[in-house]
Chain A
Amino acid sequence: MSPDKFLDFLFAGYGAFWTILFGYLGMIFSRQRRLLREVEELRRELSQRKG
């Protein structure tokens, strides 16, 4: 196999690492954003009921 082909595999390896990492970060942050929104809405609803 040519050294150029080896480079393809090197970039595929690091590409896989970044894809998994950013995919996971995207999952975490989208869930965090949704939860923060829910917390805000529920707090507002509770304070409206009390007020």
Chain B
Amino acid sequence: MRIEPLHTAANVAAVVAWGAILGALYMVFQYVPMERTMGNVQRIFYFHVPSAMVSFLAFFICFLASVAYLITRRRGLDIAAAAAAEIGVVFCSVVLITGPIWAKPIWGIWWTWDARLTTTLVLWLIYVAYLMLRAYLPEGARRANLAAVVGILGFLDVPIVYMSIRWWRTQHPAPVIMGGKGSGLAPDMALTFRVCMVAILCLFVALLLRRIVVELLQDEVDHLYREADVAPPERG
């Protein structure tokens, strides 16, 4: 896989993402009206929910790339799975940190072992384990195979996280997006949410491309060390 076109694509995606994020921030802090019951803190919603959705997308890409890797054994798919999982963990961390910051003034507590919160924490732990597995096993087919299996099995938690607020009614609010009859947002809020969703999606694409570029560079470095017959330095 050639690095230069991906490097250019990552730069273009980054410019688009920053533009979209500036637009999203304007919508969140200037355009959308304050929510009546929760006040200003509800504005966390516009980055919290898209981050959750994008983390699901990242884990789905990791799942698809892992399945495809086990079928084809192409290194590019292993790289894509690793990159998607790492960025999924980043966005899942955003969800797990912004959620309690929003919860404290509204629920009066930072955390509760509610179905949605617990399954999301489990999802985060699964993919942190995936990244640890990749970090501690020596590079090669064995690492890629094991990581692919964890990437596939770990994804089983995503539908559970998504359905948790539909199956169990606990502390976390019922879905307002795609929640069926009686759910939904006011038009201004829906528009702001869509803009934020696009912005976070653009950010995800930019990060994914950049992360793939870095992994390809790592492959090139490993190749050059082999060619030079020099032992690579220990990496912490």
Taken together as a complex, chains A and B put the C-alpha atoms of A42 and B220 apart, in Å, by 10
Inter-chain contact A17/B41, CB cutoff 8 Å: no
Q: How many A-B residue pairs have CB under 8 A?
A: 83
* Stretch of B70-78, B131-139, B163-171, B206-214 that contacts chain A: B206-214
Chain A interface size band reads 20 to 34
Indicate which residue in A14, A38, A46 contacts B227 across the interface (CB closer than 8 Å): A46
* A51 interface residue per 8 A CB criterion: no
In the complex, chain B residues whose CB is within 8 Å of the CB of A35: 214, 217-218, 220-221
Q: When each residue 38-51 of chain A gets 1 if its CB lies under 8 Å from chain B and 0 otherwise, what string results? A: 11001101100100
Q: Are B217 and A17 in contact (CB under 8 A)?
A: no
Which one of B41, B101, B104 lies within 8 Å of A16 (CB-CB)? Answer: B101
Q: Is the CB of B105 within 8 A of A1?
A: yes
Q: How far is the CA of A25 from the CA of B10 in the complex (A)?
A: 13
User: In the bound complex, do residue A6 and residue B228 qualify as a contact, i.e. CB atoms below 8 Å apart?
Assistant: no
- CB pair B224–A7 under 8 Å, yes or no, is no
Contact with A along B13-46 (1 / 0, CB 8 A): 0000000000000000000000000111101100
Convert A12-26 into 0s and 1s, putting 1 for each residue whose CB lies closer than 8 angstroms to a CB of B: 111011001100110
* A16 with B224: CB separation less than 8 A: no
**A interface residues with partner B (beta carbon < 8 Å):** 1, 3, 5-7, 9-10, 12-14, 16-17, 20-21, 24-25, 28, 31-32, 35-36, 38-39, 42-43, 45-46, 49
